[in-house]
Chain A
Amino acid sequence: MKRWGGFAFATSGALWLLALLFAFVSPLPAAEQRFPPPEFETGHKLPITTTPGPRALAREFLDAGVLLAALGIATWLVYRRRSRRGLMALSIASVAYFGFYRQGCICAIGAVQNVALGICDPSYAIPLTVLVFFFAPLVFALFAGRVFCAGVCPHGALQDLVLIKPLKVPGWLEHGLGLIPFVFLGAGVAFAATGSAFVICRYDPFVPLFRLTGSVSLLTLGAAFIVTGMFVGRPYCRFLCPYGALLRLGSLVSKWRVRVTPDFCTQCRLCEHSCPYGAMREPVVAAAQPEPPARQRRRLAWLLVALPLLITAGALGGARLAPAAARLHPTVALVEQHLRQQKAPVTHPPMTPEALSLERAANDPDPLIASARKIRERVTLACWLFGGWVGLVIGIKLIALSLRPARTDYEPDRGACVACARCFEYCPNELVRRGIAPAGPLKTAAPELVALVEQRR
């Protein structure tokens, strides 16, 4: 295990460092491969620049249909067939279709931003397919939990398929890092709602892999996620995915939930370490020296009082982010560049995209500056809300960790479980159900467990 851990740490760490390095070294890949037009007469006629047409409506419907079918199959595989192999096959199909064939777009993760922009900008019409991609997994989550993550989402499916030697992430670290998807969700919605940028798509590490091309920094980031994902189960889904955060919330109230055992829990603890995603929860047993209830109540009361304070502090702090956040908007970015050019001119080679943009800005800067100011106002409001959201998430998380859960069986955490079906195979009752193991008294090395199981029976 130590050897695996060392290898995982070394390779993943190196790739993460490289990704970080490339992000600073080559932040602007857009113009890297563009060719300048000829600078003198050559007789060559430049071809007319064309842009690919929109995807045919029938194909859009096909995408939506495939998604709905895949969600249905995933639900059936998780709840009826309880089949890990079936989910693996579905994962391969999803990676092939939504990943490599559709090149990671359209996807439910990015659709969050379209919906946010559509709500805040009346002039933006959300395509029907995008709506389906956004709402269908959520609706399924309300009934069946995260079946979308199980084998339909190409990002999750890819990480699931590359998981070879899962190392256990400490529970406390899982909870700490678990905040990030909610923060990323808030940021993604805020930037999209203000029309600044679709940051979730911009920094998606898997789309360049599906397209087999992209900026060096994102390709390296994708490779870092894949290599890390060989040892840490679904690092993107657990610690970054903003749509996963939404699905997690939906799954908390889902009608059905994933159960390890098809019958009843024998408390054999065989499934205890079966989940590579840290979603398995143990039964709650009384500690030898339990924490005094008064102390627990006091802590909870303090946290309940602190919640509005956290939200307020977050909102106030978020507003301070507006000047920096607004720079992600292309108009504001151009104005910033134009103004800095006035202060300290930088010479760009003529006819380069940078020079042409600045020339356009310099030709009529006043409306541009006024427009940038308006955008800044919108971004300021969004940053207020974003900060408040971050405060709310932190507060709720702390409160949730202060509540004493009541659990008598081993069961997957409703929010964290991605319904991968791995744990099923660890349950003796499941093996009996499949006819692999004979029904009868449980044989185990732990007599206490035998007694406990018999008692429950």
Chain B
Amino acid sequence: MTNPFRHASTFLLAALTTAWIAGAFLALVCAGLVYQRITASSNDPWKSPQLLELKAQLQDAPRDEGIKSRIRDLDLKFRQRYVRRLVMGRSGGWLLLGGSIVFIAALWTVAEARRRPPLPQPDHDAGARALRHAAASRRAVGVTAGALGIGLVAIAFGLHSALDDPALAPMTAAAGVTTAPRAGPPLPPHSEFLANWPRFRGPLGGGAASSGEAPLKWDGKTGTGIVWKAPVPAPGFNSPIVWGERVFISGATAEKREIFCYDAATGQLRWQRAIEKVPGSPAESPPISEETGYAAPTMATDGRHAYAIFAHGDLAAVTFDGDVAWSKHLGVPHNPYGHATSLAIWDGKLLVQLDQGEGRPHNSRLIAIDGGTGRVLWEKPRSMASSWATPIVIETAGSPQIVTLGVPFVIGYALADGRELWRAERLDGEITPSPIFAGGRLLVIHPDNKMMAFKPEGTGDITESPLDWKAEDNIPDITSPVSNGELVFTVTSRGIVTCFDLADGKTLWEKDLQTEAHPSPVIAGNRLYVTCTNGTTIVAAAGREYQELARNELGEKVFASAAIVRGRMYVRGLKNLYCLGPATKPASP
């Protein structure tokens, strides 16, 4: 073969120089592109610490136009950089391509110029070499096969599927192999829901009994007025809920979580069910304040299942016969005192408000779950830190909405899809008292500061909408208010009972009980029941003037709020569960 460049040393030198220059150019462009890639992540709106910090600030001050403006500026800057990066990347790509062509062509020229034609020599070893080659090839195939085998075995045994995880077996087994959605048991009529005490502070969450009857007098020492008394096997500050012939409470320690079902007529413990092996539940219990305990949230029921949530983040549904229908772990709530927000329920939808985090929100969310199946219907993130108030469901203009409290917002969500309807910036402090809905007004409490009444109307930010009234006398910090539709009653934890006019918020009377009161008050008919922590319950007339009708001693400390159903009152003491009322069996719903 002829080699046209053999003697063209100048040409060869030029080709070599071109190759070097092109190589240096390629290295430079590559370095530029790599630098651009490395800096790209800091300009990523998902990851930029600067932008995330500003967004966190905006959550605390959502109407701060300055922060919004800075976010907009930064966002615009990121987008401009992104577009610039795209353009530079594209240009860099073409530069690399062009440089590579020159580089390869120059090197190819050099290689061709230096290529020497073959000069074969006698090969007497060809036969033996062929044999050695065949043997070596077989060994190489064996080695490759072995390496492949080891690699595949490593993959097979190194990667585990969650579908095979024994801890998740209940969840995956429940899915079965059919794609047909599971249907839960039928939902009892709404009238039945309203006739019972299916959640914290009654069906509407306002603390008012649907029936006007309730016991007036009882005595824990003599047993007068006490229908039954049953020991509670596990600690918990949650309040009893009642559906038909069943009373439910939950209890938990660091080691064990349980649900207890009592016979409403006899007090006999029908069953107790341990909630265990919940997929994802932590092996070790998180540290929880003793004042809150592991079972502070009150249960809920829709007549199909009874639902309980614990401080560990375990949520479970049990049938009325005590079988676990479904359970799930929602993550350990990061709550400084422990999770205490009770479950809310409406129309078969179980509502879990998981506000968490100290100072800053930490994965706070509101979750709606189909009670029948455990299926998450929707989940909405909340830009709020920990709170302890329980949401309520109110019906306005025919469509139910969920009202939640959490610093600094009162927020209304559509029950159907979790869409935020409105929000008002009205709260501060440690939000524990739950809201109530009375006389078309929402009553919310800024603890130890003020009680506000306003109509849940409008859309978007309704902070500037005028309040109907606000009251600042004897505002509770723990307990929730109660109303009979005309008056509003509050009890501070120091034991001061105050009556306000629902129409204008004026204080009508106040009474200092001179003892601590942690349970929230309840109303049945024209009677107001204020239970103190020492077990004393003052029955007062729910009127414009203070009138004490009775003072009853239970003889046991009480932290939970009472439930009133069909003339009987159910009170959870520290050690026992009580049914108060007439000895005769009340009529079934």
In the assembled complex, how far is the CB of residue B361 from the closest CB belonging to chain A, in whole angstroms? 10
Contact A369 B139 (CB under 8 A): no
CA distance A444 to B119 in the complex (A): 9
Residue of B nearest to A270 (CB): B118
In the assembled complex, how far is the CB of residue B335 from the closest CB belonging to chain A, in whole angstroms? 15
**B161 interfacial by beta-carbon distance below 8 Å:** yes
Contact with B175, one of A273, A287, A373 (Cβ below 8 angstroms):
A373
**A246 interfacial by beta-carbon distance below 8 Å:** no
**A442 interfacial by beta-carbon distance below 8 Å:** no
Contact with B152, one of A285, A321, A431 (Cβ below 8 angstroms):
A321
Given A32-B44, A446-B122, does the pair A364, B375 have CB atoms closer than 8 Å?
A: yes
Given A33-B82, A172-B136, A172-B140, does the pair A285, B126 have CB atoms closer than 8 Å?
A: yes
Contact with A448, one of B45, B122, B131, B155 (Cβ below 8 angstroms):
B122
Given A176-B140, A342-B280, A369-B172, does the pair A323, B121 have CB atoms closer than 8 Å?
A: no
**B143 interfacial by beta-carbon distance below 8 Å:** yes
Contact A162 B104 (CB under 8 A): yes
**A165 interfacial by beta-carbon distance below 8 Å:** yes
Contact A370 B156 (CB under 8 A): no
Given A177-B144, A287-B131, A365-B175, does the pair A172, B111 have CB atoms closer than 8 Å?
A: no
Contact B44 A179 (CB under 8 A): no
Contact with A343, one of B141, B143, B168 (Cβ below 8 angstroms):
B168
Interface residues of A in 288-331 (CB under 8 A from B): 288-291, 317-318, 320-321, 323-324, 326-327
CA distance A354 to B152 in the complex (A): 29
**B159 interfacial by beta-carbon distance below 8 Å:** yes
CA distance A188 to B362 in the complex (A): 43
Contact A35 B162 (CB under 8 A): no
**B399 interfacial by beta-carbon distance below 8 Å:** no
CA distance A314 to B119 in the complex (A): 47
Contact with B130, one of A287, A327, A369, A425 (Cβ below 8 angstroms):
A287
Contact with A374, one of B94, B123, B177, B377 (Cβ below 8 angstroms):
B177
**A398 interfacial by beta-carbon distance below 8 Å:** yes
Residues of B within 8 A of A38 (CB): 75
Contact A172 B118 (CB under 8 A): no
Contact A287 B128 (CB under 8 A): yes
**A376 interfacial by beta-carbon distance below 8 Å:** yes
**B505 interfacial by beta-carbon distance below 8 Å:** no
Contact with B127, one of A33, A173, A290 (Cβ below 8 angstroms):
A290
Residues of A within 8 A of B136 (CB): 170-172
In the assembled complex, how far is the CB of residue B202 from the closest CB belonging to chain A, in whole angstroms? 30
**B501 interfacial by beta-carbon distance below 8 Å:** no
Residue of A nearest to B90 (CB): A212
Chain A interface category by residue count: 35 or more
In the assembled complex, how far is the CB of residue A98 from the closest CB belonging to chain B, in whole angstroms? 16
Contact B162 A40 (CB under 8 A): no
Contact B94 A336 (CB under 8 A): no
Residue of A nearest to B178 (CB): A370
**B6 interfacial by beta-carbon distance below 8 Å:** no
CA distance A318 to B152 in the complex (A): 8
Main secondary structure of the interface of B (DSSP, over half): helix
**B35 interfacial by beta-carbon distance below 8 Å:** no
Residue of B nearest to A336 (CB): B162
Residues of A within 8 A of B122 (CB): 446, 448-449
In the assembled complex, how far is the CB of residue B362 from the closest CB belonging to chain A, in whole angstroms? 8
In the assembled complex, how far is the CB of residue B61 from the closest CB belonging to chain A, in whole angstroms? 12
Interface string of B378-400 (1 = CB under 8 A from A): 11010000000000000000000
Interface residues of B in 310-349 (CB under 8 A from A): 328-331
Contact B280 A344 (CB under 8 A): yes
Residues of B within 8 A of A31 (CB): 46
Contact with A36, one of B46, B107, B179 (Cβ below 8 angstroms):
B46
In the assembled complex, how far is the CB of residue A40 from the closest CB belonging to chain B, in whole angstroms? 6
Residues of A within 8 A of B118 (CB): 269-270, 272-274, 426
Given A317-B153, A321-B155, A370-B177, does the pair A342, B171 have CB atoms closer than 8 Å?
A: yes
23 A-B pairs within 8 Å (CB atoms) are namely A31-B46, A32-B41, A162-B104, A171-B137, A213-B93, A230-B104, A274-B118, A282-B126, A284-B130, A287-B127, A317-B156, A335-B163, A339-B172, A343-B280, A345-B363, A352-B46, A362-B379, A366-B176, A370-B179, A374-B177, A401-B137, A446-B121, A448-B122
Which A positions have Cβ atoms within 8 angstroms of B? 31-36, 38-40, 42, 161-162, 164-165, 170-177, 179-180, 183, 212-213, 216, 226, 230, 268-270, 272-274, 282, 284-291, 317-318, 320-321, 323-324, 326-327, 332, 335-336, 339-345, 347, 349-350, 352, 359, 362-374, 376, 390, 394, 397-398, 401-402, 425-426, 431, 436, 444-446, 448-449
